[in-house]
Amino acid sequence: MTNVVTLHGDKRWKAVLEYQHENGPISIEYFLEEISELHLIIEHGPDWNTLIRCTVTLSRPDGGEEQNSVEKARRNEHGSG
């Protein structure tokens, strides 16, 4: 189950929080402008004692491919990066 919560339009960071739930783990996506906002999301979200993991990545329109050093290296080899 994934819920997407967009706080105020396009944001720089994407946080995926996974919580233990009676029906199994649930994931909730949040988009943040400042990484410092994350603590408020955790404090005001579901019970933080049920938090399994939190993954924070840059919210990129390319789905994160730009962050992949292997992909960057391939483009650089071909002169397009």
| Per-residue pLDDT at 1 exceeds 50 | no
| Identity of residue 25 | P
Percent above pLDDT 70 for the chain: 67
The confidence score (pLDDT) of residue 18 equals 97
pLDDT tens by residue, 18-36: 999 999 999 999 999 999 9
In this prediction, residue 11 has a pLDDT band, given cuts at 50, 70 and 90, of confident
Is the pLDDT assigned to residue 71 strictly greater than 70?
Answer: no
What is the 8-class DSSP label of residue 66? G
Q: Which long-range contacts (CB under 8 A, 24 or more apart) does 4-10 make?
A: 4/29, 5/29, 5/30, 5/31, 6/31, 7/31, 7/32, 7/33, 7/37, 8/33, 10/59
